Structure 1
Amino acid sequence: MKISLVIWPVLLLLSLTETYAQNVKRQTDKHIVHQQERMVFKQWDRKKFTPTKGFLGLNYQYWLTWAWHPNYPKTDRRPLSAAGAQTQRLLMVAAMKNTEEAYKLHADTLRNTAVSEMVNYAGIASRADPLWQLYYRHEFSPLTDGQNGDPMDDAEPEVREYLTSTGILEWYLEESRALAQRLDAARTTNLDRGSRIMAYHHMLGEYRELSTLWEAKKNRAKLYLSLAGTNEKVKESDHPITLPTGKTDRQIADNILSKSKL
């Protein structure tokens, strides 16, 4: 019982001491506060460099504090000032970012240029050329898609036999195959796009000339066979046609025209 009477006052005294120790009064020094404000965010105000000189410069605390650092109040030492360390770091970061973006833009430009040049030169990309898709593919379609077709589908049997026997058909097929091989080489070879288009242009002219010549040969063969058939009929007829003699070609033509008007 006596021990409890002694312990309780001791515990009460310790609790009161702890409560008093926790209630610490905040001590503020205006000189330290001014320095913190100067260094962090506020203006570098020379009027707030305390302690001040006082009346007639007789404040000994000023001389004890700032006499050892005479240039300190005149120099803005804030990290975020115009010439501060943090401002310079931020400017350096911005400059490095701009440089990085410029390098990235330059690299992207080089990449796009390289891709464009590759597309212009690569033969594998010639199929996707807009000019080929819009114009030359349709113009060369009989040559590229019709190699296995018969160029005399619309010809009569007599004309077909005549062109085959005389070798004209073989000549046309050989010329067509040679032109098709040249066209395939121009499409698959790594070549400048301008040179490739010029090759298309020249070969298209040759192909049109070949097609015109082939049609002319078929028409001439048909006309020849028609004349040959008429000649055979005349020879087999009992009343051969007598041609006027002693007349010039112009007189014969005038005679024919005069009869056609009647």
Structure 2
Amino acid sequence: MKKHFYKIIFLLPAIFCVIFSFGQVKKLNDPSIVAHQKRMVFESWGDFRPYPKYTLGIQTNFAYATVWGWLSPSKNQDYKNGADIRPLKPTGLEVQRLVELEFQRAEAEKIKLQVDSLHTRNVQDLAHWTSATVEADPLWLLYYKKMLKPLNLFSENPQNYFEWQLKDDKTYQNMLANGGIAHLKKELDLLKDKYKNSRTLDMPRGKRFLMYHETLIGWRKFNQQIRAFDQKNTLFLDYKKLLSKSKIDIEPYWEPNDVTIVHEVMIAYKNKF
């Protein structure tokens, strides 16, 4: 037991050393990497480290020879001896890409504004076209709803004088007999159908209000026709009633001829001459 305890005590410092060594971060400061970073950004093109070293005219820096010298790949030598390809120089590829991105962003903003305008216009057009928003239209609420309310409340299939808004049942029966009710029923069906279409069909807002206006004019003419039929039938029934109360036997009118007149005169004066 003691042996295990001593082993643990001796191993603890080693464990702490390993943990401490792994926990430290060593800062790497390689001049070649720093020079490469400068070439890759915007500072300057050059400073190709490592530098060559010569002894008696002989290249003795193996690192230079393998990176930039005669032992290096051809692409490294082309890179060193080539043109300035810094991506962040004023005319670099990265700068061009960023400028192009800015142009694309500005163009995207313009397109977004146009799309938003089109969307807003489409929503407005939809609100003007669809029948789902007719109840909220200000002109309908302020005028046509009130003016067309009597037509909307008028019965679709009137069956008596009260529903037809006539004077009495005799007038209704007389109009039913002479075809006046049938004529009014056709006019009423046309008005009801036009009113229903103006409220349920999808159409431009202007056309919808033209239909409202045409329906209102037709409703006024329809009321005038009802009043005219009512007055005419009332007068007819009144005249018929007067004639039935004042029947007079009229003797037939007979106009005598000349022979009859002479005969009557001779009879009247035969004893005087």
TM-score by length of 2: 0.50
Q: Report if the CA contact (8 A) 1:126-1:188 is conserved.
A: no
Given the superposition, is the C-alpha separation of residues 128 and 80 from structure 1 closer, same or farther in structure 2, using an over 3 Å criterion? Answer: farther
1:178 is displaced (CA, Å) by: 2.1
- Is the counterpart of residue 184 in structure 1 residue 196 in structure 2? yes
Deviations 1:181-231 (A, max 9, x none): 233344444544433332332232122112122123223433443454455
The structure that has the greater radius of gyration is 2
Q: Show the counterpart of 2:181.
A: 169
Question: What are structure 2's unaligned runs of at least 5 residues?
Answer: 1-13, 22-26, 48-76, 249-273
Taking structure 1 as reference, are residues 126 and 187 closer, same or farther at Cα in structure 2, changes over 3 Å only? farther
Bigger relative contact order (CA 8 A; separation at least 6): 1
How many percent identity over aligned positions? 24
**Aligned counterpart, 1:98:** 106
Query: Residue 173 of structure 1: CA displacement?
Result: 2.0
* Alpha-carbon separation, structure 2, partners of 1:214 and 1:126: 34
1:222 and 2:245 equivalent? no
Change (3 A) 1:172 1:35: same
Aligned twin of 2:134: 127
Is 1:186–1:199's contact at 8 Å kept on the other side of the alignment? yes
The alignment partner of 1:103 has SS state of helix
Q: Deviations over 1:133-161 (max 9, x none)?
A: 44333322332332245533462333333
The answer to whether the 8 Å contact 1:126/1:187 transfers is: no
* Structure 1: stretches of 5+ with no match in the other structure: 1-14, 49-67, 238-262
Matched, 1:210 2:227: no
Q: Which amino acid aligns with 2:175?
A: L
CA contact (8 A) 2:166 2:230 kept: no
In 2, Cα distance between equivalents of 1:229 and 1:126: 55
Distance 2:189 2:240 in 1: 32
1:84 CA displacement: 4.0
Structure 1 residues 47-98: Cα deviation after superposition (integer angstroms, max 9, x where no partner)? x9xxxxxxxxxxxxxxxxxxx98998xx795x55543444333222222222
CA RMSD between the two structures: 4.9
User: Match of 1:217, SS?
Assistant: helix
Amino acid paired to 1:157: D
TM (norm. structure 1) is 0.51
Cα distance between partner residues in 2 of 1:28 and 1:177: 96
1:147 aligns with 2:155: yes
